[in-house]
Structure 1
Amino acid sequence: MFKTIKYEVHDRVAWLTLYRSDKLNAFTEEMHSEMLTALKDVERNENVRCLVITGEGRAFSSGEDLDGVTEGLDHGHVIRKRYTPVLIQLAKIDKPVIAAINGIAAGSGFSLALACDFRLMHEQAKLVQAFIHVGLIPDSGNLYYLPKLIGHAKALELAVLGEKVTAEEAKEIGLVTKVIDGENWMEGVSSFAERLANMPTRAIGLIKQQLQASWDMPLELFLEKEAYGQRMAGLTSDHQEGVHAFMEKRSPDFAGK
Protein backbone atom coordinates (compact mmCIF):
# COMPACT_ATOMS: atom_id res chain seq x y z
CA MET A 1 0.00 0.00 0.00
CA PHE A 2 2.85 2.40 0.85
CA LYS A 3 6.13 3.07 -0.93
CA THR A 4 7.95 5.57 1.30
CA ILE A 5 6.78 4.43 4.73
CA LYS A 6 5.96 1.18 6.49
CA TYR A 7 2.83 1.09 8.63
CA GLU A 8 1.99 -1.86 10.86
CA VAL A 9 -0.11 -2.48 13.97
CA HIS A 10 1.02 -5.07 16.52
CA ASP A 11 -0.50 -5.62 19.97
CA ARG A 12 -2.26 -2.23 20.09
CA VAL A 13 0.89 -0.37 19.00
CA ALA A 14 1.08 1.24 15.55
CA TRP A 15 4.54 1.50 14.00
CA LEU A 16 5.09 4.16 11.33
CA THR A 17 8.55 3.76 9.84
CA LEU A 18 10.00 6.33 7.43
CA TYR A 19 11.27 4.12 4.63
CA ARG A 20 13.73 5.90 2.37
CA SER A 21 16.94 4.72 3.99
CA ASP A 22 19.01 5.40 0.86
CA LYS A 23 18.08 9.08 1.27
CA LEU A 24 18.31 9.09 5.08
CA ASN A 25 14.51 9.05 5.14
CA ALA A 26 14.29 12.55 3.68
CA PHE A 27 10.78 13.88 3.18
CA THR A 28 9.06 14.05 -0.19
CA GLU A 29 5.53 14.94 -1.24
CA GLU A 30 4.70 11.25 -1.59
CA MET A 31 6.01 10.49 1.89
CA HIS A 32 3.92 13.25 3.46
CA SER A 33 0.81 11.96 1.68
CA GLU A 34 1.43 8.45 2.94
CA MET A 35 2.18 9.66 6.47
CA LEU A 36 -1.10 11.59 6.51
CA THR A 37 -3.03 8.46 5.52
CA ALA A 38 -1.36 6.42 8.27
CA LEU A 39 -1.90 9.09 10.93
CA LYS A 40 -5.60 9.27 10.09
CA ASP A 41 -5.82 5.52 10.62
CA VAL A 42 -4.11 5.87 14.02
CA GLU A 43 -6.68 8.47 15.06
CA ARG A 44 -9.74 6.41 14.16
CA ASN A 45 -8.47 2.84 14.73
CA GLU A 46 -9.80 1.66 18.11
CA ASN A 47 -7.26 -1.17 18.14
CA VAL A 48 -4.40 1.36 18.26
CA ARG A 49 -3.53 2.73 21.69
CA CYS A 50 -0.01 4.02 21.02
CA LEU A 51 1.97 5.19 17.96
CA VAL A 52 5.70 4.83 17.39
CA ILE A 53 7.34 6.89 14.62
CA THR A 54 10.86 5.83 13.64
CA GLY A 55 13.19 5.58 10.66
CA GLU A 56 14.62 2.75 8.60
CA GLY A 57 18.38 2.29 8.59
CA ARG A 58 20.82 4.75 10.14
CA ALA A 59 18.63 7.87 10.20
CA PHE A 60 15.37 8.99 11.77
CA SER A 61 15.04 11.64 9.07
CA SER A 62 17.45 14.12 7.51
CA GLY A 63 14.57 16.51 6.78
CA GLU A 64 13.40 17.74 3.39
CA ASP A 65 14.88 15.98 0.37
CA LEU A 66 17.03 18.75 -1.11
CA ASP A 67 16.90 17.09 -4.54
CA GLY A 68 13.48 18.70 -4.85
CA VAL A 69 14.61 22.18 -3.82
CA THR A 70 15.02 24.35 -6.89
CA GLU A 71 15.89 28.02 -7.26
CA GLY A 72 12.87 30.20 -6.65
CA LEU A 73 10.96 27.46 -4.82
CA ASP A 74 8.18 28.83 -2.62
CA HIS A 75 9.11 27.19 0.67
CA GLY A 76 6.04 28.62 2.34
CA HIS A 77 3.83 26.83 -0.17
CA VAL A 78 5.64 23.55 0.52
CA ILE A 79 5.06 23.95 4.25
CA ARG A 80 1.38 24.80 3.87
CA LYS A 81 0.69 22.00 1.37
CA ARG A 82 2.75 19.16 2.83
CA TYR A 83 4.03 19.71 6.35
CA THR A 84 1.12 21.57 7.95
CA PRO A 85 -1.52 18.88 7.28
CA VAL A 86 0.75 16.20 8.77
CA LEU A 87 1.49 18.24 11.90
CA ILE A 88 -2.15 19.16 12.44
CA GLN A 89 -3.21 15.53 12.05
CA LEU A 90 -0.47 14.42 14.45
CA ALA A 91 -1.69 16.94 17.03
CA LYS A 92 -5.25 15.59 16.71
CA ILE A 93 -4.24 12.12 17.88
CA ASP A 94 -5.46 11.63 21.45
CA LYS A 95 -3.18 8.64 21.93
CA PRO A 96 0.46 8.68 23.10
CA VAL A 97 2.92 9.24 20.25
CA ILE A 98 6.57 8.21 20.54
CA ALA A 99 9.44 9.39 18.36
CA ALA A 100 11.95 6.53 18.36
CA ILE A 101 15.02 8.48 17.21
CA ASN A 102 17.19 5.69 15.86
CA GLY A 103 19.74 7.95 14.12
CA ILE A 104 20.25 11.49 12.88
CA ALA A 105 17.18 13.73 13.12
CA ALA A 106 17.94 16.91 11.22
CA GLY A 107 15.89 19.85 9.98
CA SER A 108 12.24 18.95 9.64
CA GLY A 109 13.14 15.46 10.85
CA PHE A 110 14.05 17.09 14.16
CA SER A 111 10.76 19.01 13.97
CA LEU A 112 8.78 15.78 13.58
CA ALA A 113 10.41 14.37 16.69
CA LEU A 114 9.55 17.54 18.63
CA ALA A 115 5.88 17.20 17.65
CA CYS A 116 5.64 13.79 19.32
CA ASP A 117 4.71 13.30 22.98
CA PHE A 118 7.77 11.26 23.96
CA ARG A 119 11.22 11.04 22.44
CA LEU A 120 13.31 7.89 22.89
CA MET A 121 16.82 8.31 21.52
CA HIS A 122 19.42 5.77 20.46
CA GLU A 123 22.68 6.39 22.32
CA GLN A 124 24.51 7.14 19.05
CA ALA A 125 21.80 9.31 17.47
CA LYS A 126 22.16 13.06 16.93
CA LEU A 127 19.77 16.01 16.69
CA VAL A 128 20.56 19.07 14.61
CA GLN A 129 18.84 22.29 13.62
CA ALA A 130 20.13 22.13 10.07
CA PHE A 131 18.03 25.00 8.70
CA ILE A 132 20.54 27.74 9.49
CA HIS A 133 23.19 25.97 7.38
CA VAL A 134 21.12 26.57 4.23
CA GLY A 135 19.95 30.05 5.21
CA LEU A 136 16.47 29.06 6.38
CA ILE A 137 14.51 29.25 9.63
CA PRO A 138 13.33 26.20 11.56
CA ASP A 139 9.93 25.13 10.27
CA SER A 140 7.36 22.35 10.59
CA GLY A 141 6.34 23.54 14.04
CA ASN A 142 9.91 23.43 15.31
CA LEU A 143 9.95 26.77 17.13
CA TYR A 144 6.45 26.17 18.44
CA TYR A 145 7.45 23.02 20.33
CA LEU A 146 11.15 23.56 21.07
CA PRO A 147 11.01 26.50 23.53
CA LYS A 148 8.18 24.79 25.41
CA LEU A 149 10.54 21.87 26.01
CA ILE A 150 13.84 23.59 26.76
CA GLY A 151 13.14 27.31 27.17
CA HIS A 152 13.61 30.37 24.96
CA ALA A 153 17.35 30.87 25.38
CA LYS A 154 18.36 27.28 24.67
CA ALA A 155 15.95 27.06 21.73
CA LEU A 156 17.52 30.18 20.23
CA GLU A 157 21.00 28.73 20.75
CA LEU A 158 20.18 25.49 18.93
CA ALA A 159 18.37 27.28 16.10
CA VAL A 160 21.06 29.87 15.42
CA LEU A 161 24.23 27.86 16.01
CA GLY A 162 22.93 24.68 14.36
CA GLU A 163 25.28 22.43 16.31
CA LYS A 164 24.72 18.70 16.69
CA VAL A 165 23.19 17.57 19.98
CA THR A 166 24.20 14.15 21.28
CA ALA A 167 21.79 11.81 23.02
CA GLU A 168 23.25 12.51 26.46
CA GLU A 169 23.14 16.28 25.87
CA ALA A 170 19.54 15.99 24.70
CA LYS A 171 18.63 14.12 27.88
CA GLU A 172 20.37 16.69 30.06
CA ILE A 173 18.44 19.64 28.60
CA GLY A 174 15.09 17.87 28.63
CA LEU A 175 14.75 17.23 24.90
CA VAL A 176 14.32 13.47 25.18
CA THR A 177 12.53 11.18 27.59
CA LYS A 178 15.05 8.37 27.61
CA VAL A 179 18.35 7.34 26.02
CA ILE A 180 18.55 3.65 25.07
CA ASP A 181 21.77 1.77 24.36
CA GLY A 182 22.22 0.14 20.99
CA GLU A 183 22.05 -3.47 22.17
CA ASN A 184 18.66 -2.93 23.78
CA TRP A 185 17.24 -0.42 21.29
CA MET A 186 14.25 -2.28 19.85
CA GLU A 187 13.48 -4.02 23.13
CA GLY A 188 13.57 -0.69 24.96
CA VAL A 189 11.31 1.09 22.44
CA SER A 190 8.85 -1.81 22.36
CA SER A 191 8.72 -2.04 26.13
CA PHE A 192 8.03 1.69 26.49
CA ALA A 193 5.33 1.57 23.80
CA GLU A 194 3.66 -1.47 25.37
CA ARG A 195 3.61 0.28 28.73
CA LEU A 196 1.76 3.25 27.22
CA ALA A 197 -0.59 0.99 25.23
CA ASN A 198 -1.68 -0.66 28.48
CA MET A 199 -2.48 2.62 30.24
CA PRO A 200 -5.88 4.42 30.32
CA THR A 201 -5.77 5.81 26.78
CA ARG A 202 -8.63 8.30 27.09
CA ALA A 203 -7.10 9.82 30.21
CA ILE A 204 -3.83 10.26 28.32
CA GLY A 205 -5.71 12.03 25.53
CA LEU A 206 -7.36 14.36 28.03
CA ILE A 207 -3.99 15.09 29.65
CA LYS A 208 -2.59 16.04 26.23
CA GLN A 209 -5.54 18.38 25.64
CA GLN A 210 -5.20 19.99 29.06
CA LEU A 211 -1.48 20.63 28.66
CA GLN A 212 -1.96 22.22 25.26
CA ALA A 213 -4.78 24.45 26.55
CA SER A 214 -2.66 25.59 29.49
CA TRP A 215 -0.43 27.66 27.18
CA ASP A 216 -3.30 29.72 25.80
CA MET A 217 -5.91 30.12 28.56
CA PRO A 218 -6.22 32.37 31.60
CA LEU A 219 -6.44 30.44 34.87
CA GLU A 220 -10.20 30.72 35.38
CA LEU A 221 -11.00 29.35 31.91
CA PHE A 222 -8.44 26.62 32.29
CA LEU A 223 -9.87 25.50 35.63
CA GLU A 224 -13.29 25.17 33.99
CA LYS A 225 -11.79 23.12 31.17
CA GLU A 226 -10.00 21.03 33.79
CA ALA A 227 -13.27 20.33 35.62
CA TYR A 228 -14.94 19.28 32.37
CA GLY A 229 -11.99 17.06 31.47
CA GLN A 230 -12.08 15.37 34.86
CA ARG A 231 -15.81 14.76 34.46
CA MET A 232 -15.13 13.04 31.12
CA ALA A 233 -12.32 10.96 32.61
CA GLY A 234 -14.60 9.96 35.48
CA LEU A 235 -17.14 8.54 33.02
CA THR A 236 -14.67 6.12 31.42
CA SER A 237 -14.67 2.41 32.13
CA ASP A 238 -10.94 2.67 32.79
CA HIS A 239 -11.65 4.95 35.76
CA GLN A 240 -14.04 2.37 37.20
CA GLU A 241 -11.49 -0.37 36.59
CA GLY A 242 -8.79 1.69 38.32
CA VAL A 243 -10.96 2.21 41.40
CA HIS A 244 -11.96 -1.45 41.57
CA ALA A 245 -8.34 -2.56 41.18
CA PHE A 246 -7.27 -0.21 43.97
CA MET A 247 -9.96 -1.52 46.32
CA GLU A 248 -9.14 -5.12 45.43
CA LYS A 249 -5.38 -4.55 45.81
CA ARG A 250 -4.53 -5.73 42.28
CA SER A 251 -3.05 -4.25 39.12
CA PRO A 252 -5.65 -2.59 36.86
CA ASP A 253 -6.44 -4.02 33.43
CA PHE A 254 -7.20 -0.90 31.38
CA ALA A 255 -9.12 -1.28 28.12
CA GLY A 256 -8.54 2.21 26.73
CA LYS A 257 -12.24 3.07 27.02
Structure 2
Amino acid sequence: MPIEDLRPSIDWGKYQTLTLERRADGVLLITVAEPEGQPAGTLVRRHTEISSIWRDFGDDPELRVAVITGRGDKFWTVEGTDGLDEMLANTGNYDLTVNLIREGLVNAHSIVNCDKPIVSAINGEAMGSGLATALLADISVAATDARLIDGHLLQGIAAGDHSVMIWPLLCGLAKAKLYLLASQDLTGEVAERIGLVSVAVPPGDVLDTALGIAHRMAAGPQHAVRWTKRSLNHWLRTATPAFEASLGFEALSFFGPDLVEALKAQVENRSPRFGAPLAW
Protein backbone atom coordinates (compact mmCIF):
# COMPACT_ATOMS: atom_id res chain seq x y z
CA MET A 1 0.00 0.00 0.00
CA PRO A 2 1.46 3.44 -0.93
CA ILE A 3 2.34 5.58 2.07
CA GLU A 4 -0.06 8.28 0.81
CA ASP A 5 -2.95 5.88 1.42
CA LEU A 6 -2.00 5.62 5.09
CA ARG A 7 -2.25 9.36 5.77
CA PRO A 8 -5.33 10.35 7.77
CA SER A 9 -8.16 12.12 5.98
CA ILE A 10 -8.53 15.59 7.50
CA ASP A 11 -11.89 17.34 7.57
CA TRP A 12 -10.82 21.00 7.58
CA GLY A 13 -14.43 22.06 7.07
CA LYS A 14 -15.36 21.13 10.65
CA TYR A 15 -13.73 24.30 12.01
CA GLN A 16 -16.34 27.02 12.54
CA THR A 17 -14.68 29.30 15.10
CA LEU A 18 -11.29 29.26 13.38
CA THR A 19 -10.60 30.65 9.91
CA LEU A 20 -7.90 28.67 8.11
CA GLU A 21 -5.78 29.91 5.22
CA ARG A 22 -2.98 28.08 3.46
CA ARG A 23 -0.09 30.39 2.65
CA ALA A 24 3.01 29.79 0.53
CA ASP A 25 5.78 27.47 1.76
CA GLY A 26 3.37 25.28 3.73
CA VAL A 27 2.41 27.98 6.25
CA LEU A 28 -1.07 27.66 7.80
CA LEU A 29 -2.62 30.91 9.07
CA ILE A 30 -5.24 30.33 11.80
CA THR A 31 -7.47 33.27 12.78
CA VAL A 32 -9.58 33.02 15.92
CA ALA A 33 -13.17 34.34 15.93
CA GLU A 34 -14.34 36.12 19.06
CA PRO A 35 -17.50 34.65 20.69
CA GLU A 36 -19.18 38.06 20.99
CA GLY A 37 -22.10 38.16 18.56
CA GLN A 38 -21.61 34.51 17.63
CA PRO A 39 -24.23 31.77 18.14
CA ALA A 40 -24.68 30.30 21.63
CA GLY A 41 -22.10 27.65 22.39
CA THR A 42 -19.32 29.35 20.41
CA LEU A 43 -17.09 29.59 23.48
CA VAL A 44 -17.32 25.85 24.17
CA ARG A 45 -16.98 24.98 20.48
CA ARG A 46 -13.85 27.12 20.17
CA HIS A 47 -12.33 25.20 23.08
CA THR A 48 -13.09 21.94 21.27
CA GLU A 49 -11.74 23.11 17.94
CA ILE A 50 -8.48 24.50 19.29
CA SER A 51 -7.82 21.22 21.09
CA SER A 52 -7.94 19.31 17.79
CA ILE A 53 -6.40 21.77 15.31
CA TRP A 54 -2.80 20.95 16.25
CA ARG A 55 -3.11 17.26 15.48
CA ASP A 56 -4.69 18.01 12.11
CA PHE A 57 -1.96 20.53 11.37
CA GLY A 58 0.67 17.97 12.33
CA ASP A 59 -0.92 15.27 10.18
CA ASP A 60 -1.17 17.36 6.99
CA PRO A 61 1.94 16.51 4.94
CA GLU A 62 1.80 19.77 3.01
CA LEU A 63 1.94 22.01 6.09
CA ARG A 64 5.19 23.01 7.80
CA VAL A 65 4.51 25.92 10.17
CA ALA A 66 1.34 27.34 11.77
CA VAL A 67 0.67 30.97 12.69
CA ILE A 68 -2.28 31.71 15.00
CA THR A 69 -3.72 35.20 15.46
CA GLY A 70 -6.95 37.00 16.31
CA ARG A 71 -9.24 39.55 14.71
CA GLY A 72 -9.31 43.29 15.29
CA ASP A 73 -7.92 44.33 18.67
CA LYS A 74 -8.33 40.93 20.35
CA PHE A 75 -6.28 37.78 20.10
CA TRP A 76 -8.62 35.58 22.16
CA THR A 77 -10.68 36.48 25.22
CA VAL A 78 -13.89 35.44 26.96
CA GLU A 79 -15.15 38.97 27.48
CA GLY A 80 -18.55 40.19 26.38
CA THR A 81 -22.02 39.43 27.68
CA ASP A 82 -22.45 36.35 25.51
CA GLY A 83 -19.31 34.69 26.81
CA LEU A 84 -20.03 35.51 30.47
CA ASP A 85 -23.64 34.34 30.22
CA GLU A 86 -22.46 31.10 28.65
CA MET A 87 -20.01 30.53 31.51
CA LEU A 88 -22.62 31.39 34.16
CA ALA A 89 -25.12 29.00 32.63
CA ASN A 90 -22.64 26.16 32.89
CA THR A 91 -21.15 26.61 36.37
CA GLY A 92 -21.30 23.38 38.34
CA ASN A 93 -21.83 21.34 35.18
CA TYR A 94 -19.72 18.25 35.87
CA ASP A 95 -19.71 16.82 32.35
CA LEU A 96 -18.85 20.18 30.78
CA THR A 97 -16.09 20.82 33.33
CA VAL A 98 -14.52 17.41 32.66
CA ASN A 99 -14.65 18.14 28.94
CA LEU A 100 -13.15 21.64 29.27
CA ILE A 101 -10.32 20.38 31.45
CA ARG A 102 -9.64 17.50 29.07
CA GLU A 103 -9.51 19.91 26.14
CA GLY A 104 -7.19 22.26 28.04
CA LEU A 105 -4.94 19.28 28.69
CA VAL A 106 -5.08 18.20 25.05
CA ASN A 107 -4.44 21.74 23.78
CA ALA A 108 -1.33 22.24 25.90
CA HIS A 109 0.15 18.82 25.26
CA SER A 110 -0.73 18.97 21.56
CA ILE A 111 1.17 22.25 21.12
CA VAL A 112 4.14 20.94 23.06
CA ASN A 113 4.19 17.56 21.31
CA CYS A 114 3.43 18.75 17.78
CA ASP A 115 6.74 18.38 15.96
CA LYS A 116 6.00 21.25 13.60
CA PRO A 117 6.65 24.80 14.85
CA ILE A 118 3.79 27.09 15.89
CA VAL A 119 4.00 30.90 15.96
CA SER A 120 1.51 33.13 17.79
CA ALA A 121 0.81 36.63 16.48
CA ILE A 122 -0.69 38.28 19.56
CA ASN A 123 -2.42 41.22 17.92
CA GLY A 124 -4.37 42.33 21.00
CA GLU A 125 -5.94 41.21 24.25
CA ALA A 126 -5.27 37.60 25.23
CA MET A 127 -6.50 35.82 28.33
CA GLY A 128 -7.47 32.38 29.61
CA SER A 129 -7.19 29.65 27.02
CA GLY A 130 -6.18 32.24 24.45
CA LEU A 131 -3.18 33.26 26.50
CA ALA A 132 -2.31 29.61 27.01
CA THR A 133 -2.23 29.06 23.26
CA ALA A 134 -0.30 32.27 22.67
CA LEU A 135 2.45 31.54 25.18
CA LEU A 136 2.78 27.80 24.55
CA ALA A 137 3.49 28.54 20.88
CA ASP A 138 7.15 28.00 20.02
CA ILE A 139 7.63 31.64 19.07
CA SER A 140 5.35 34.45 20.28
CA VAL A 141 5.13 37.85 18.58
CA ALA A 142 3.11 40.39 20.58
CA ALA A 143 1.95 43.91 19.87
CA THR A 144 3.67 46.29 22.28
CA ASP A 145 0.25 47.43 23.50
CA ALA A 146 -1.35 43.97 23.64
CA ARG A 147 -2.91 43.20 27.02
CA LEU A 148 -1.91 39.82 28.42
CA ILE A 149 -3.64 38.45 31.49
CA ASP A 150 -4.16 35.06 33.01
CA GLY A 151 -7.72 35.70 34.13
CA HIS A 152 -8.30 32.59 36.21
CA LEU A 153 -8.07 34.20 39.65
CA LEU A 154 -10.23 37.10 38.49
CA GLN A 155 -12.90 34.49 37.82
CA GLY A 156 -12.42 32.82 41.20
CA ILE A 157 -10.69 29.70 39.87
CA ALA A 158 -7.18 28.31 40.22
CA ALA A 159 -4.77 29.05 37.38
CA GLY A 160 -4.72 26.13 34.98
CA ASP A 161 -4.42 25.84 31.19
CA HIS A 162 -0.69 26.50 30.94
CA SER A 163 0.76 28.98 33.41
CA VAL A 164 2.20 26.57 35.99
CA MET A 165 3.92 24.70 33.16
CA ILE A 166 5.60 27.55 31.33
CA TRP A 167 5.59 30.91 33.15
CA PRO A 168 8.32 30.00 35.70
CA LEU A 169 10.50 28.75 32.83
CA LEU A 170 9.97 31.85 30.69
CA CYS A 171 10.07 34.70 33.20
CA GLY A 172 11.15 33.12 36.49
CA LEU A 173 9.17 32.07 39.54
CA ALA A 174 9.17 35.50 41.20
CA LYS A 175 7.60 37.23 38.20
CA ALA A 176 5.24 34.32 37.61
CA LYS A 177 3.91 34.59 41.16
CA LEU A 178 3.55 38.37 40.89
CA TYR A 179 1.41 38.28 37.76
CA LEU A 180 -0.53 35.09 38.49
CA LEU A 181 -1.30 35.44 42.20
CA ALA A 182 -2.04 39.17 42.01
CA SER A 183 -3.90 38.80 38.70
CA GLN A 184 -1.81 41.56 37.20
CA ASP A 185 -2.04 42.16 33.50
CA LEU A 186 0.94 43.22 31.43
CA THR A 187 1.54 44.69 28.02
CA GLY A 188 3.37 42.99 25.19
CA GLU A 189 6.23 45.41 25.75
CA VAL A 190 6.60 44.35 29.40
CA ALA A 191 6.11 40.70 28.48
CA GLU A 192 9.08 40.90 26.11
CA ARG A 193 11.22 42.62 28.76
CA ILE A 194 10.66 39.86 31.32
CA GLY A 195 10.96 37.07 28.74
CA LEU A 196 7.32 35.98 28.62
CA VAL A 197 7.08 36.50 24.84
CA SER A 198 9.72 36.13 22.15
CA VAL A 199 9.43 39.62 20.69
CA ALA A 200 7.20 42.71 20.88
CA VAL A 201 6.63 44.91 17.85
CA PRO A 202 4.38 47.85 16.93
CA PRO A 203 0.73 46.76 16.55
CA GLY A 204 0.69 47.11 12.78
CA ASP A 205 3.72 44.82 12.39
CA VAL A 206 2.57 41.82 14.41
CA LEU A 207 1.19 39.54 11.71
CA ASP A 208 3.85 40.39 9.13
CA THR A 209 6.59 39.72 11.67
CA ALA A 210 5.05 36.40 12.70
CA LEU A 211 4.57 35.33 9.10
CA GLY A 212 8.14 36.33 8.26
CA ILE A 213 9.45 34.08 11.04
CA ALA A 214 7.12 31.28 9.93
CA HIS A 215 8.26 31.43 6.30
CA ARG A 216 11.90 31.41 7.41
CA MET A 217 11.33 28.23 9.41
CA ALA A 218 9.26 26.71 6.60
CA ALA A 219 12.20 27.20 4.24
CA GLY A 220 14.61 25.52 6.65
CA PRO A 221 15.57 21.84 7.04
CA GLN A 222 12.34 20.35 8.32
CA HIS A 223 13.70 17.34 10.18
CA ALA A 224 16.27 19.53 11.93
CA VAL A 225 13.63 22.12 12.85
CA ARG A 226 11.26 19.51 14.27
CA TRP A 227 13.90 17.56 16.16
CA THR A 228 15.22 20.77 17.70
CA LYS A 229 11.72 21.72 18.86
CA ARG A 230 11.16 18.25 20.28
CA SER A 231 14.42 18.40 22.23
CA LEU A 232 13.79 21.89 23.59
CA ASN A 233 10.28 20.99 24.72
CA HIS A 234 11.58 18.34 27.09
CA TRP A 235 12.01 21.32 29.45
CA LEU A 236 8.22 21.73 29.35
CA ARG A 237 7.55 18.01 29.67
CA THR A 238 9.37 17.98 33.02
CA ALA A 239 6.66 20.33 34.32
CA THR A 240 3.81 17.99 33.35
CA PRO A 241 3.03 16.83 36.94
CA ALA A 242 2.72 20.43 38.19
CA PHE A 243 0.66 21.39 35.14
CA GLU A 244 -1.80 18.53 35.56
CA ALA A 245 -2.15 19.29 39.29
CA SER A 246 -3.09 22.87 38.38
CA LEU A 247 -5.76 21.58 36.01
CA GLY A 248 -7.20 19.44 38.78
CA PHE A 249 -7.45 22.42 41.13
CA GLU A 250 -8.96 24.50 38.34
CA ALA A 251 -11.64 21.83 37.82
CA LEU A 252 -12.40 21.83 41.57
CA SER A 253 -12.83 25.61 41.44
CA PHE A 254 -15.68 25.26 38.96
CA PHE A 255 -17.86 23.85 41.75
CA GLY A 256 -17.23 26.58 44.33
CA PRO A 257 -19.05 29.87 44.97
CA ASP A 258 -16.18 32.13 43.90
CA LEU A 259 -16.62 31.48 40.18
CA VAL A 260 -20.33 32.39 40.31
CA GLU A 261 -19.59 35.54 42.31
CA ALA A 262 -16.81 36.60 39.92
CA LEU A 263 -18.98 36.10 36.84
CA LYS A 264 -21.97 37.91 38.37
CA ALA A 265 -19.70 40.80 39.33
CA GLN A 266 -18.47 41.09 35.75
CA VAL A 267 -22.00 41.03 34.36
CA GLU A 268 -23.08 43.66 36.93
CA ASN A 269 -19.92 45.75 36.40
CA ARG A 270 -18.83 45.71 40.04
CA SER A 271 -15.99 44.33 42.15
CA PRO A 272 -16.47 40.73 43.32
CA ARG A 273 -17.09 40.04 47.00
CA PHE A 274 -15.39 36.75 47.77
CA GLY A 275 -16.37 35.01 51.02
CA ALA A 276 -14.04 33.61 53.67
CA PRO A 277 -12.49 30.32 52.59
CA LEU A 278 -12.69 27.05 54.46
CA ALA A 279 -9.53 26.02 56.30
CA TRP A 280 -6.88 24.73 53.86
Taking the TM superposition and a 5 Å limit, the aligned residue runs for 1:57-68 are 57-63=72-78, 65-68=83-86
Shift of 1:97: 0.7
Q: What does residue 28 of structure 2 align with?
A: 14
Q: Is there any run of 5+ residues in structure 2 with no aligned partner, and where?
A: 1-12, 239-280
Query: Which whole-Å deviations, capped at 9, do the CAs of 1:228-252 have from their partners, x for residues lacking one?
Result: xxxxxxxxxxxxxxxxxxxxxxxxx
SS in 2 for 1:127: strand
In the alignment, which of 92, 104, 108 is matched to residue 72 of structure 1?
92
Q: What is the root-mean-square deviation of aligned Cα atoms in Å?
A: 2.4
Q: Is there any run of 5+ residues in structure 1 with no aligned partner, and where?
A: 218-257
Looking at structure 2, the residues matched to 106 and 183 of structure 1 have their Cα atoms a distance apart, in angstroms, of 21
In the alignment, which of 17, 29, 32 is matched to residue 4 of structure 1?
17
Looking at structure 1, the residues matched to 102 and 62 of structure 2 have their Cα atoms a distance apart, in angstroms, of 30
Contact in 1 for aligned 2:27/2:215 (Cα 8 Å): yes
Contact in 2 for aligned 1:107/1:130 (Cα 8 Å): yes
Shift of 1:22: 3.1
In the alignment, which of 63, 87, 99 is matched to residue 120 of structure 2?
99
Query: Once the two structures are aligned, what percentage of the paired residues are identical?
Result: 25
Shift of 1:157: 0.9
Distance verdict in 2 for CA 1:156–1:23, change over 3 Å: farther
Q: What does residue 151 of structure 2 align with?
A: 130
Identify the range of structure 1 (30-39 vs 190-199) with the bigger mean alpha-carbon deviation.
Answer: 30-39
Looking at structure 1, the residues matched to 202 and 91 of structure 2 have their Cα atoms a distance apart, in angstroms, of 42
**TM-score, normalisation: structure 2:** 0.70
Taking the TM superposition and a 5 Å limit, the aligned residue runs for 1:75-94 are 76-94=97-115
Shift of 1:159: 0.6
**TM-score, normalisation: structure 1:** 0.75
Looking at structure 2, the residues matched to 109 and 71 of structure 1 have their Cα atoms a distance apart, in angstroms, of 20
Contact in 1 for aligned 2:150/2:180 (Cα 8 Å): yes
Query: Which whole-Å deviations, capped at 9, do the CAs of 1:14-45 have from their partners, x for residues lacking one?
Result: 11111126369x97221233334432221012
How many residues are treated as equivalent by the alignment?
216
The one-letter code of the counterpart of 1:28 is L
SS in 2 for 1:28: helix
Looking at structure 2, the residues matched to 71 and 21 of structure 1 have their Cα atoms a distance apart, in angstroms, of 18
Taking the TM superposition and a 5 Å limit, the aligned residue runs for 1:109-124 are 109-124=130-145
The one-letter code of the counterpart of 1:44 is D
